[in-house]
Amino acid sequence: MARLETVRIIVAMATWEGWSLHQLDVKSAFLNGYLEEEIYVTQPLGFIVKGEEHKVYRLNKALYGLKQAPRAWNHRINQFLEKIGFVRCVSEQGVYTKYWKDQDREEKIIVCLYVDDMLVTGSKPEAIAEFKSQMLSEFEMSDLGRLNYFLGIEFQFTEARTIMYQMKYSRDLLNRFGMKDCNAAVTPTEMGLRLERCTEEEDVDHTEFRRIIGSLRYLCNTRPDLSYGVGIVSRHMQSPKVSHMNVVKRILRYLRGTCNLGIIFPCKKPGVR
C-alpha cells in the first residue's frame, strides 16, 4: 500500500503540472491472486457432493480470509503492471511509473496503489485512457472517473488549485464521539500546553480515548493544524486521565468549527486544466 504522505505528494505534483487525476477500483481484488502453495479447504455448506463428503477442494486462487491472499494479489498486480511497462518505485512499493518519449517530449504516467484502489495521473490523457483499457481487459474493475473521494479524503478541483480535505470524515468523527452539537473552540489547544502523567487524577476509558486519538491521527493527513495537539495527547494513551481527555475534547471542539478546512495545492499555470 502506498502511504498517505505519498498520495499527497502525487496530488500536489499532478495539480502543479495541470494533470488530471483518476481513480480505479478493483472488484474482489484478493480473488485475483494465484497461489504458489498447495492449500486445501473442506467443501462449503450447500456445495457438498453426496457420496464424496470426505473429499476436499484444492485452491487455485486466493480467498478472502486466507493469510496468503494479500501477498498473492500484490504479486499478481505487480506482474501485470511490469508487463505493460511500469517500473515499481524502490522506496515506495505502492507506486509505479512509466516513462516514454513522444516527439522529443518525455511523457509519464504514475499509478498509486492502495490495496484495491488505484490513483492514476500522467502528462498525457490518451495514455491514461489506454492504461484504463488495459486494466479493464485484465481485471474486473470500476472506472470511477475523475478523483473525487479516496480513502476517506475528499478532493475539489478548480482551474487554479486542488483542495484536499476530510469534511465528511470530520463530521462522522464528531457524531461518533457525541460532539456534533458542542460549542466550537477558536484554537485546537491552549497556548503553551503541557501535560503531565498525573497519577492522582481519575482515569478515563482507555478504549474510548485511544479510538478518538486514532481517528484524529488519520485526520491529520489533511489537517496539519491538529498535528501538535494530537501529538501531545498521543503520549498519554497508556494511562489517560481526565485532564488528557479534556485536551482531546478541546481539539474536537476546534474541529467542530473547522470541518471544511484542508490542504490547498496550487497549479503552475492556472486555467490550463
Residues 171, 144 within the same domain = no
Residues 208, 111 within the same domain = no
Give yes or no for a contact between 188 and 254, defined as CB atoms under 8 angstroms apart: yes
Show the domain range for 24. 4-34+66-151
Q: How far is CA 195 from CA 65, 179, 186, 192, 220, in A?
A: 42, 22, 20, 10, 20
Q: What is the pLDDT of residues 195-229, one digit of tens each?
A: 777 777 788 889 999 999 999 999 999 999 999 99
Cβ neighbours for 134, distance < 8 A, ≥ 6 positions apart: 84
Mean pLDDT over the full length of the chain: 89
Q: How far is CA 108 from CA 86, 122, 131, 239, in A?
A: 10, 5, 12, 50
pTM metric for this prediction: 0.84
Residues 100, 230 within the same domain = no
Total of domains in the chain:
2
Residues 22, 127 within the same domain = yes
Q: What is the pLDDT of residues 14-68, one digit of tens each?
A: 999 999 999 999 988 888 888 888 889 888 888 888 888 888 988 888 888 888 8
Q: What is the pLDDT of residues 95-118, one digit of tens each?
A: 999 998 887 788 899 999 998 899
User: What is the predicted pLDDT for the residue at 132?
Assistant: 93
Question: Residue 158 domain-assigned?
Answer: no
